[in-house]
Chain A
Amino acid sequence: MRLTIKDHIRESRLFNERAAIALFAIIILLMFSIARLVYLQIVSHEHFSTLSDENRISLIPVPPTRGLIYDRNGIALAQNLPAFSLVLIPEQISDMDATISGLRKLVAISDEDVRRFQRQLKQKRSFNSIALRFNLNDEEIARFAVDRHLFPGVEIEARAIRNYPLGMLASHVIGYVGRINEDELRDIDPSNYSGTDFIGKTGIERFYENLLHGQVGYKQIETNAYGRTLRELQQAEPTPGKNLYLSLDIGVQRVAETEFAGRRGAAVAIDPRNGEVIAFVSMPGFDPNLFVTGIDVKTYEELQNSLDRPLFNRALRGQYPPGSTLKPFVGLTGLESNKTTLDASTFCPGWYRLPGDSHKYRDWKEHGHGFTTMDKAIVESCDVYFYSLALNLGIDIMHDFLAQFGFGQQTGIDLKDESSGLLPSRDWKRARRGQPWYPGETLITGIGQGYTLTTPLQLAYATAVLSMHGAHTPPHLLRAVGASNTKEAELLPAPMTNVPIKNRGNWDAIITAMSHVVSSERGTAHTIGRNAPFPIAGKTGTAQVFSIKQDEKYVEKEVAERLRDHALFIAFSPPEDPRIAIAVMVENAGHGSTAAAPIARKMIDHYLGGQTP
């Protein structure tokens, strides 16, 4: 206990004294404020009044030019074209509703245009012009010109509009820009976008928005009381967006898209040595130019609801069972984990049965392949061999080894919303399904069926890793920024650790077997091996389609077609010094050798043919 006696009267007096001092200080500070007000509002009133009323200094944002996008050979994929827009300057318009409805009689203006305009009206300064309609055609410009005097504050302005000269080609990679929506507004720096109409919505346009957009500039202008520009005082130039050079070879891309010939599917080609994506195909595509100035609702719904799902990026987001294309990887698992040898052979009677189970797991070849070694199993795609090998390996070894190739995880390509596929494991099944793992599931995992799902991109990447004897170089589309010769380090995910090599001979044997798939008469893809200018190592695959939800309401004939198996083919070339690795998937096209493999061959021929090694 403290025993100091508090002197309340003294403390109270002390407080009052201090409060009085505080009051004094407050009055002094108020005097300062009032003196300042007298200076601002009375002494300098004239000066500020002049500044305010007669000459208004205002800042006009000058939007930066969006960076262009080129392919690896400098072919333009996205450019800016001048287009004429109908712009309104809000502070010069007294009756906005009347003006808009008047304009609608001259020029086609959709409700969506008006809505977007109203939104911007709230966000921008009233002396900034806001576009109501983009891309006016000559007739509309002429019609407006006649009645122009009726619409003070409305002008026709030439603004740069994004244009994709190749149209549908590579539309899923390039993506498109569109007008900024409210969600996007929240994520961007509003002052940097104060003069910008467009923002990247998908593809490269979206992923590299920051590089492409650039930095806004400002014009400081003096205007009179009516908002007319008197003179320009100062200008801070905008910094244009960076030009991007993609690793895409638009020639290979075009060949692939042509070869699809209207079928649905995806194809991805990667340079295994450096991860550069050479072609990235998702069919069908769409015309990105439709989205730039705002697509109309009907067209959009048609695209959105189309059975072919043209807006869906199959290469990036489509998840398909890898089917037999997984076999080389499973075979390598067996060799590298010492669970089998190259000479060991399995007898294939055309079916396989688990011990103590009456269920017959069938081979695709009804009467079997007979005695089968690893090489033959890959060349002829024997299922029974891989049932037996898978059971021998068990799901745990298979899962851990295959994961090293990137199965079941995003590759980290420079596109948003990549799917991660699925590489099943004991833990995954317990966590997601609450069930133990069954041996039968191990069997079908061995031939790439069951739970396993891969994206075409993932499959191409795993093929690249296999072709490079386990070396990882993450796939990427951006090759250079700025001028075509300046290479700028990009923020790419750290590459996965390379697959450890136990015995290089095992890898060589698998690659040789894959070469035999194409070159041997017995190979499942021998049809594309004929007269091939470049040696190819490959593997065919067929993925069973279980169900496609949206097909259910369609007519039987259609359903039947869409329940057919997906055709798959993975390949790389040349086998001993790979420069291109490919995965091709054609939806509902049956067997890989007839539908998918020819597309891969055409891509390889075009790419390697047009290149000096």
Chain B
Amino acid sequence: MTAPSHRASPRWGDRRGPRLLVRGLHLDFPLLAALILLSLAGLAILYSSSGRNMDVVAGQAMRLGVAFTVMFVLAQIPLHHIERWVPWLYGIALVLLLGVLLFGEIGKGAQRWLDVGLFRFQPSEMMKLAVPMMVSWYLADRPLPPSARHLTIAALIIVIPVLLIAKQPDLGTALLIAAAGTFALILAGVRWKYVALLVLAVSACAPLLWYMLHDYQRMRVLTFLDPERDPLGSGYHIIQSKIAIGSGGIYGKGWLNGTQSHLEFLPERSTDFIFAVFGEEFGFIGILFLLGIYTFIVIRGLYIATQAQDTFTRLLSGSLILTFFVYTFVNTGMVMGLLPVVGVPLPLISFGGTSMVTLMASFGIIMSIHTHRKLLST
């Protein structure tokens, strides 16, 4: 996929016109198309899951608008402009995280929000980008594969914010951020023996971790292992979402016809469990199609990473797209009863705003990495 000359101006009627237009705007057309397709599918299923509530759909459309705008703006900024600010960004995010722990507001039982006068703000969202950026930035001009010393420092870059976020407590986000940083390390070529060591260390710490978990978190893990143990509480989610997906069958019950979800058996049906509504109404075929789009996005993102021209952008785009995959896999896995219930939304489909903006920001970065490529090399 080599880009045509940049001199060619887009003209209507030209078969490649729109595509060039997108290129001129520093957007990646295949990625953009897939993201829009996902968003539209999301709005459609939200209309159904919310009980045909146009207010909810309009609200989500507005959030999508904001998120796509953020993506568009970020795509315009060449990464080498951003690169030298990375340590600052990371530092500020770290300070804000500390701020949350000290002065944060309690929302839904956990301390995640920082009140900045006009709006409330979640520094952990900022960390979702800052951690992979900082690890990529740090490793960019070190020889790769990284030495044990560099690896230790990179590990600290990841562990410090992760622990701060886990303490809020927001275990889901902490794990996702840990994953994002770890992906950058693995993509940088960390020797497998270190990876094996890490896995060993984590499994050794597991009992300790279990001890540190909050009661509700332990409950979730136990419920995952045996949903029937708490059919009125958290096990109810899993049982009901399995019934919803399973009853969808191959072709689904049809849009707006899902009974499980409409009779409100399914909790959180517009947010974390929206995938179950999708599975019920569009069936196996529909889910395959949806997973196809997600897979396409991931493969396109990985391709963009391999085409990146320097280590920083390569590691960054690679770790961001792998994190996107983790989101998708963890959410769908949890709804299908493959993984324990952790509060991870389905990217671009779940109702809700904050994490969507962060997600689209990462796509803005990926597009910028891809479309500013040629300019860098000349």
**Residues of chain A having any CB pair with chain B under 8 Å:** 2, 4-8, 10-12, 14-19, 22-23, 26, 29-30, 32-34, 36-38, 40-42, 44-45, 47-49, 51-53, 56-59, 91, 125-127, 218, 220, 234, 236
Contacts and interface: CB of A to CB of B under 8 A. Distances in A.
B195 to A, nearest CB: 11
Given A19-B318, A34-B291, A45-B246, A91 B263 contact: yes
A36 B302 contact: no
Main DSSP-derived SS at the B contact region: helix
Given A15-B189, A41-B249, A26 B318 contact: no
Nearest to A126: B264
Contact of B288 (A17, A34, A53): A34
B248 interface: yes
Among A6, A34, A51, A127, residue most surrounded by chain B Cβ atoms (within 10 Å): A51
B247 A52 contact: yes
Contact of A127 (B189, B243, B263, B299): B263
Interface string B149-188: 0000000000000000000000000000000000100111
Contacts of A37: 245, 279, 284, 287-288, 336
Contacts of A45: 246-247, 249-250
Contacts of B288: 34, 37
A59 B144 contact: no
Contact of A33 (B187, B188, B248, B333): B333
B236 interface: yes
B295 A26 contact: yes
Given A19-B318, A41-B248, A41-B250, A6 B143 contact: yes
A15 B303 CA distance: 11
Contacts of A4: 142-143
B284 A42 contact: yes
Interface in B97-115: none
* 3 nearest CB pairs, A to B: A48-B246, A52-B247, A14-B189
Max count, chain A CB within 10 A of own CB: residue among B265, B288, B338: B265
A29 B232 contact: no
9 contacts: A10-B144, A14-B144, A18-B189, A22-B322, A36-B333, A37-B284, A41-B287, A44-B246, A52-B247
Contacts of B298: 26
Interface in B313-337: 314-315, 318, 322, 325, 329, 332-333, 336-337
* Residue in A40, A44, A56 with the greatest tally of chain B CB atoms within 10 Å: A40
A29 B325 CA distance: 10
B341 interface: no
A18 B242 contact: no
B340 interface: no
Given A14-B145, A48-B243, 7 more contacts: A17-B189, A19-B305, A32-B333, A33-B332, A37-B336, A52-B244, A59-B236
B284 A15 contact: no
B291 A38 contact: no
B124 interface: no
Given A33-B291, A34-B291, A53-B247, A15 B232 contact: no
A22 B245 contact: no
A12 B325 CA distance: 22
A125 B246 CA distance: 22
Contacts of A126: 263-264
Contacts of B246: 40-41, 44-45, 47-49, 51-52
A62 to B, nearest CB: 12
A235 to B, nearest CB: 10
B354 interface: no
A15 B263 contact: no
Contacts of B299: 23
Contacts of A36: 333, 336-338
A19 B314 CA distance: 10
Contacts of B279: 37, 40-41
B141 interface: yes
B274 to A, nearest CB: 16
A49 B258 CA distance: 11
Nearest to B262: A126
A15 B243 contact: no
Contact of A16 (B186, B260, B306): B306
A23 B260 CA distance: 35
B257 to A, nearest CB: 12
Nearest to A57: B265
A504 B147 CA distance: 82
A58 B262 CA distance: 13
Nearest to B185: A18
Most buried by A among B231, B243, B248, B283: B243
| Most chain B beta carbons < 10 A, residue from A44, A48, A49, A57 | A48
A17 B318 CA distance: 12
Contacts of A49: 246-247, 249
B76 interface: no
A49 B144 CA distance: 54
